[in-house]
A and B are shown apart, each in its own frame.
Chain A
Amino acid sequence: MSTVLETPARAVEPAHPSRSWAPVFALARFEARELRMTIPLFGLSILYVAWIVWDTTQRQGDYPILQDVDRATPGMPLLIGLAVMLGVNRAVLRSRRCDTDRHFDVLVVEPWRRTVAHALSIVPAVLFTAVCVLVQFIWAALKPGAAGHGSPAELAVGPLTVLLFGMLGVLLARLFRSVFAAPVILVLLLFGMLFVAPSSGSNWTSWLGPVVTESGSNPLPSDLLERPAAWHALYLVGLGLTLAVLAVLVSGGRTTVVKAAIAGSVALTVVGVVGQSAGTPAGSTPARDRATNAPEKVQTCLKRGGSTYCAFPEWTGRTADWAEVVDRVQNLAGGSAGGERLTVRQRIDATYGLTSDTLISPSTTPGQVTVGTSWGGNRVPEFAAAVASVLVAGNEKAGSSVCDARMVTIMWLALGGESDPMTALRNVRLDDSVSGSAIVLSPTESMSMSAEQTRIVVELLKKPRYSVAGKVKAKWTELTSPRTTTARVAELLGVPAADKSAAKAEADGDSCAE
């Protein structure tokens, strides 16, 4: 408020045209406060903070992969940027709307300095976004299950998007003297971005958009991402500066500094575009090939209990979680399987980069279990099912083609040690059911269980663990033989037989006819 009173007082000394930047900063401070108080920005900021809290406290976010977390941050800043752009656009045009333009002609602050002040008023919003992004990332990184490395360039995309949109708002206000121009151009830009550059990252034009999300179902080690994140950040900085300096230029700032600044920022943008247009490689690179086909060359192996756990360097901290599941499953197994030395190996298919969604083929090495790069939630019972199938069938390839009564043993081993086995059963089955036949997910190829097998497994899971565990250990040889029928397994484990017709149909199904 005081600035409003001060400035006219300075204006009465035309003999010494004040070249001080103090009024510019004062105006920037005032405009920043006005911007903060606009309803859309205020509302969206609250929404943003709420979303961060909600998103980070979600249970499936318990084992975050930091190189994926950083890439997921710029979604909400896009919204903030949108509100900032429209807000600042309105602020620049306020004097025109209120018809006070001619009053400003008597002030020492020339129009181009006012533009600078408006551009500076965006800075607090950018800083706010940066803080939010940092909090989101650090919160995820502090979780005990966090793995991987974040990239500062990826984290910078969110705040830089806000900066870019804000500068665009200032420039549009200086180019088009109508409040209607900004929303319409924004709509055109947003939809144009959807049309021209689907944000898959394979094309160099898609990297011209502010946010390039590439997401696949399987996280990759950070050194295999091959995203030109730093070049992209440079491009965003350059573009934001270019827009700001253009706005200054349009509103009459023709000093040498401004001209130099525009040359510099355009150069930055061009360097960024050239640097990023290599984009993400669509095909394979030597590093990706090595990680896909010969992971043992890059992995670190740790011994825990009797088993060996081989993980990519960023995931070695997670071996303890895997060992816990392996121990739980192995404790329930009988015969030699109870003491078998397993090798748990992390495998990925990085050939086609992030966006590919390929299934990993099951390994044929005896006693080797595959584990993926994500963990937590459904991934835990899926891994347990894979461990159980290797214990029962010998290797993963054989385990994934089991369709006889051994499936009952596999599923009980996998889930019997869980604290909430019925939920785990629901999670591990593709259709989230606990009756009827279904596909059972695993880190590699899925397995299938029939309706009768499901019924027996559900009955077993309802019984106390120790009563079933004794029977499983005692009858281990017969339970893991491919020749044992489902009815016999039910009898061995003390589950009442199903009615005749169902049992008959099941006996036919036991032969793996499909």
Chain B
Amino acid sequence: MTVMTRALLTPVLRTLPWRALAGGGATALLLAGIPRMLSGAPDPWLGLISLRGAALALALGLAFLLDDPARHITSAVPVRRPLRVGLRVALALPGAALCWTAAVFLVPEEARPPVGALTLEAIATAVFALASAALIIQRSTATEPGVAVSTGLLSTAAAAFLLLPDGWALLVSPDDPRWTDTHERWAMLLTVALAVGTRACVEPLRAWRLGSFRGRAQQAAPL
């Protein structure tokens, strides 16, 4: 298996969607750097918003991680899906972690929200994106789920920001009494996303697919 992994390393590294990942990372750093660029006293609210923006941008980048135009061709390799997905995630992980750490340190210390809680939010968002991508790949014939996942992620984030009722709120500020409860919900979300993601990484045994009709629609689409 290790030989196989080593053999896979270079091709997978080459097929990673580098532009999307780099774009996501750069946006995250840009957003996190904004409080430092603005003049005036550091504002904790601004720090929180910019870190949340950075987390979202990073997750958007990671949503494209499983995009592989050659997926149907390489599906015949004698390596199971968990390893292929795991390898991609493992290759992107150090970069993402580094980027997040840099983003956290970019926010001035006086304006920095609790780092642990924000990291939990960032991880949950990223895992949510990855799990959705894995699920789409497992359940459809799509090779590049990134666009769909990023659209869904943005819509979900905006809807969560605007619509969640008070009792279910996810995005609150640290001085809110619901801060701890909210982060219990984030942890729950992370657990669910991890479970779904892990489940979605296994090879599907039955050919139950969402994308059969969508694939047909796409063939008919071009004019």
Q: List chain A positions with a Cβ less than 8 A from chain B.
A: 1, 3-4, 7, 23, 26-27, 30, 34, 38-40, 43-44, 47, 51, 75-76, 78-79, 82-83, 86-87, 90, 94-95, 97-98, 100, 103-104, 107, 109, 178-181, 183-184, 186-188, 190-191, 194-195
Q: Which of A34, A104, A109, A180 contacts B146 (CB 8 A)?
A: A180
Taken residue by residue from 155 to 166, chain B's Cβ proximity to chain A (1 for < 8 Å, 0 otherwise) reads as: 100110011000
Please indicate the chain B residues that have their CB under 8 angstroms from the CB of A191 in the complex.
31, 34, 49-50, 53
Q: Which of A44, A94, A107 contacts B155 (CB 8 A)?
A: A44
Number of interface residues of B (CB under 8 A): 38
Known: A39-B152, A86-B147, A87-B151; 12 extra A-B contacts, CB below 8 A, are A30-B223, A38-B151, A43-B155, A47-B163, A51-B163, A86-B150, A94-B218, A94-B221, A180-B20, A183-B60, A187-B56, A187-B154
Please indicate the chain B residues that have their CB under 8 angstroms from the CB of A4 in the complex.
220, 222-223
Q: Which of B19, B31, B221 contacts A180 (CB 8 A)?
A: B19
Q: Is the Cβ of B147 less than 8 Å from the Cβ of A179?
A: yes
Q: Is the Cβ of B221 less than 8 Å from the Cβ of A39?
A: no
The 3 tightest CB contacts between A and B, nearest first, are A191-B53, A86-B151, A183-B150
Q: Which of B194-223 contact A (CB under 8 A)?
A: 217-218, 220-223
Report Cα–Cα, A90/B145, bound state, in Å: 12
Residue of B at shortest CB range from A79?
Answer: B158
Q: Is the Cβ of A187 less than 8 Å from the Cβ of B27?
A: yes
Report Cα–Cα, A488/B99, bound state, in Å: 72
Please indicate the chain B residues that have their CB under 8 angstroms from the CB of A179 in the complex.
146-147
Report Cα–Cα, A44/B156, bound state, in Å: 9
Please indicate the chain A residues that have their CB under 8 angstroms from the CB of B24 in the complex.
184
Q: Which of A51, A100, A184, A188 contacts B222 (CB 8 A)?
A: A100
Please indicate the chain A residues that have their CB under 8 angstroms from the CB of B49 in the complex.
191, 194-195
Q: Which of B34, B153, B159 contacts A44 (CB 8 A)?
A: B159
Interface centre among A23, A30, A40, A188 (most CB of B within 10 A): A40
B144 to chain A, nearest CB (A): 8
Residue of B at shortest CB range from A1?
Answer: B220
Q: Is the Cβ of A83 less than 8 Å from the Cβ of B221?
A: no
Report Cα–Cα, A7/B8, bound state, in Å: 46
Report Cα–Cα, A187/B31, bound state, in Å: 9
Q: How many residue pairs bridge A and B at CB < 8 Å?
A: 108
Report Cα–Cα, A182/B221, bound state, in Å: 21
B110 to chain A, nearest CB (A): 17
15 contacts between A and B (CB under 8 A): A30-B223, A44-B155, A75-B162, A79-B159, A83-B155, A94-B218, A98-B222, A100-B222, A104-B223, A109-B223, A180-B64, A191-B49, A194-B49, A195-B46, A195-B49
A47-B159, A180-B19 are contacts. A90–B151 as well, Cβ < 8 Å?
yes
Please indicate the chain B residues that have their CB under 8 angstroms from the CB of A82 in the complex.
154-155, 158
Please indicate the chain B residues that have their CB under 8 angstroms from the CB of A3 in the complex.
223
Interface of A: prevailing SS: helix
A47-B159, A82-B158, A98-B218 are contacts. A180–B150 as well, Cβ < 8 Å?
yes
Interface centre among B38, B50, B60, B151 (most CB of A within 10 A): B151
Report Cα–Cα, A82/B223, bound state, in Å: 26
Q: Is the Cβ of B162 less than 8 Å from the Cβ of A78?
A: yes
Q: Is the Cβ of A184 less than 8 Å from the Cβ of B221?
A: no
A110 to chain B, nearest CB (A): 13
Report Cα–Cα, A7/B223, bound state, in Å: 8
Q: Is the Cβ of A184 less than 8 Å from the Cβ of B151?
A: no
B31 to chain A, nearest CB (A): 6
Q: Is B148 an interface residue (CB 8 A)?
A: yes
Please indicate the chain B residues that have their CB under 8 angstroms from the CB of A181 in the complex.
23
Please indicate the chain A residues that have their CB under 8 angstroms from the CB of B23 in the complex.
180-181, 184
B58 to chain A, nearest CB (A): 10
Q: Is B30 an interface residue (CB 8 A)?
A: yes
Q: Which of A75, A76, A183, A188 contacts B31 (CB 8 A)?
A: A188
Please indicate the chain B residues that have their CB under 8 angstroms from the CB of A40 in the complex.
151-152, 155
